[in-house]
A and B are shown apart, each in its own frame.
Chain A
Amino acid sequence: MRRDVPLLIKALGIAGFGILYIPVMIMIIYSFNSSKLVAVWAGFSTKWYKELWTDDILLTALYKSLLIGVSSATISTVFGLLIAIAFVRFSVFKGRLILSLVASAPLVMPEAVTGLSMLLLFIAMEISFGWPSGRGVDTIMIAHATFGMCFAAVVIQTRLRDMDKYLEEAARDLGGRQPFVFLSITLPLILPSIIAAWLLSFTLSFDDLVIASFVSGPGSSTLPIVIFSKIRLGVSPEINAIATLMILTISILVLFGSILILKREDKK
Chain B
Amino acid sequence: MNYFFQKFGRILVIWLPLGWLLLFFMLPLVEMINVSFSEARRAVPPYIPAFQIGSGGFSFRPVLDNYLLIYEYWEDYLWPAINSIRLAFFSTLYCLLFAYPMAWWIARSNKSIQHILLILVLMPFWTSSLLRMYALIGLLNPNGFINDVLIWAGITVTPIQMMQTDFSIYSGMILTYLPLMILPLYASLVRLDVSIIEAAADLGAKKWDIFRTIVLPLSIPGIVAGSLLVFIPAVGEFVIPALLGGPEQLMLGKVIWTEFFRNRDWPVAAAIAIILIAIIILPIVYARYQDRERIS
Q: Measuring CB to CB, which residues of chain A are less than 8 angstroms from any residue of chain B?
A: 1-5, 8-10, 12-13, 15-17, 19-24, 26-27, 30, 38-39, 79-80, 82-83, 85-86, 90, 93, 95, 98-99, 102-103, 105-106, 108-114, 116-118, 120-121, 123-124, 127-128, 142-143, 145-146, 149-150, 153, 177-178, 200, 203, 206-207, 209-210, 213-214, 224, 227-228, 231, 235, 239-240, 243, 246-247, 250-251, 254-255, 258-259, 262
Contacts and interface: CB of A to CB of B under 8 A. Distances in A.
Contacts of B106: 13
A237 B237 CA distance: 26
30 contacts: A3-B194, A16-B178, A19-B98, A20-B178, A24-B135, A26-B145, A39-B144, A79-B20, A83-B17, A90-B10, A90-B14, A95-B14, A102-B18, A103-B21, A110-B235, A110-B277, A111-B253, A112-B256, A112-B257, A113-B32, A113-B236, A116-B256, A117-B29, A117-B31, A120-B28, A207-B127, A207-B131, A240-B138, A243-B128, A254-B122
Nearest to A199: B126
Interface of B: 2, 5-6, 9-10, 13-18, 20-22, 24-29, 31-32, 35, 45, 49, 53, 98-99, 101-102, 104-106, 108-110, 115, 117-124, 126-132, 134-139, 141, 143-145, 148, 171, 174-175, 178-179, 194, 197-198, 232-233, 235-239, 243, 252-253, 256-257, 260-261, 266, 269-270, 273, 276-277, 280, 284
A117 B28 CA distance: 5
Given A9-B101, A16-B102, A120-B35, A79 B132 contact: no
A121 B10 contact: no
Contacts of B238: 110-112, 209-210
Contacts, number: 259
Nearest to A13: B105
B135 A26 contact: yes
Nearest to B29: A117
A79 B15 CA distance: 10
Contacts of B105: 5, 9-10, 12-13
A198 B72 CA distance: 47
A51 B145 CA distance: 24
Contacts of A143: 24
A243 to B, nearest CB: 4
A247 B175 CA distance: 14
B13 A239 contact: no
Contact of A121 (B28, B131, B141, B269): B28
A124 B44 CA distance: 11
A138 to B, nearest CB: 12
Given A102-B26, A121-B24, A38 B239 contact: no
A246 B108 contact: no
Contacts of B31: 117, 120-121, 124
A239 B5 CA distance: 54
Given A95-B14, A110-B276, A246-B128, A23 B135 contact: yes
B130 A227 contact: yes
B93 to A, nearest CB: 15
B175 A19 contact: yes
Nearest to B277: A113
B175 A23 contact: yes
B20 to A, nearest CB: 6
B126 A203 contact: yes
A82 B123 contact: no
Contacts of B120: 17, 20-21
Given A108-B284, A110-B276, A111-B236, A17 B53 contact: no
B10 A123 contact: no
Contacts of B14: 82, 86, 90, 93, 95, 99
Nearest to B142: A39
Given A113-B236, A224-B130, A20 B175 contact: yes
Contact of A102 (B5, B21, B32, B198): B21
A268 B141 CA distance: 49
The 9 closest A-B pairs by CB, nearest first: A110-B236, A117-B28, A12-B101, A207-B128, A27-B135, A121-B28, A13-B105, A23-B135, A102-B21
Given A95-B18, A110-B253, A111-B238, A231 B102 contact: no
